[in-house]
Amino acid sequence: MTSLFQRFLTAGVLALWGNVLLIIFFTGRICAYLHSNFQPFTLVAGCLLVCFAFLVLIAPATANAHAAARSSVWSVLTSLILVAPLLLAFSSTLDSFGAGTVAKRVYVQDLAQLPSAQPAAAQSANTPQDDKYLLPKNKRGQVQAQIVDFLYAAQLPEVRVQLENKPVEVIGQLMPAKTNNPKGNRFVVIRMMMTCCAADAQPIALPVEPQKKPDLPDMTWVKVTGQAAFPVEGGQRKPLIQDAAIEKIDAPEDPYLY
Amino acid sequence: MDGAFQFSLSDFSFSFLSILLEGLPFLLLGTMIAGVIDQFLPVRLMARLLPRNAYAGVLVSGLLGIIFPICECGVVPIIRRLMAKGLPPANAITYMLAAPIVNPIVAVSTFAAFRGQAPLEVTLLRLGLGYGVAVAVGIVVHNLPLGRVLRTEVIADIAQPQGLSGGGVAGGIAGRLWGALAVCVGDFLSMTVYFVLGATAAALFNTSVNQDFIAPLATNDWLATASLMTLAAMLSLCSTTDAFIAATFSMFPAVAKLAFLVFGPVISLKLVFLYSSIFKERFVFGLVIGLFVMVWLLCMRLTVIGL
Q: What DSSP line would sit under B171-216, residue for residue? A: S-HHHHHHHHHHHHHHHHHHHHHHHHHHHHHHHHHHHHB-GGGTGG
Half-sphere exposure of B4 (CA within 13 A, CB side): 2
In chain A, residues with a C-beta closer than 8 Å to the C-beta of B185 are: 10, 14, 52, 56, 67
**Model ipTM value:** 0.89
The nearest alpha carbon in chain B to A40 belongs to B25
Cβ contact A192:A203 at 8 Å: yes
Cβ contact B23:B195 at 8 Å: yes
The nearest alpha carbon in chain A to B202 belongs to A199
| DSSP for residue B291 | H
Instruction: Share the mean pLDDT of chain B.
Output: 85
The whole-angstrom separation of Cα B298 and Cα A135 is 46
Handedness of CA A222, A252, A250, A25 (dihedral sign): negative
The nearest alpha carbon in chain A to B5 belongs to A104
Q: What is the pLDDT of residues A134-145, one digit of tens each?
A: 788 888 889 998
CA distance A14 to chain B (A): 8
User: What was the pLDDT predicted at A52?
Assistant: 97
Q: How far apart are the first and last CA of chain B?
A: 36
Using CB atoms, which residue from A42, A65, A82 is nearest to B192?
A82
Query: Which of A118, A175, A179, A218 best probes binding to B when mutated, by most B CB atoms within 10 angstroms?
Result: A118
Residue range B164-193: average pLDDT? 78
Task: Using pLDDT thresholds of 50, 70 and 90, give the confidence band for residue B1.
Answer: very low
CA distance A208 to chain B (A): 21
Closest CA to B114 of B132, B98, B129, B126: B126
Using CB atoms, which residue from A108, A120, A199 is nearest to B18?
A199
CA distance A139 to chain B (A): 36
Half-sphere exposure of A15 (CA within 13 A, CB side): 11
Inform me whether the C-beta atom of residue A22 falls under 8 Å from chain B C-beta atoms: no
User: What was the pLDDT predicted at A119?
Assistant: 41
User: What was the pLDDT predicted at A125?
Assistant: 42
Using CB atoms, which residue from A116, A118, A199 is nearest to B206?
A199
Residue range B136-158: average pLDDT? 92
The whole-angstrom separation of Cα A151 and Cα A172 is 14
Q: What is the pLDDT of residues B158-172, one digit of tens each?
A: 777 555 454 444 568
Inform me whether the C-beta atom of residue A179 falls under 8 Å from chain B C-beta atoms: no
User: What was the pLDDT predicted at B236?
Assistant: 79
In single-letter form, the type of residue at position A130 comes to D
Contact between chains at A63 and B9 (C-beta distance less than 8 A): no
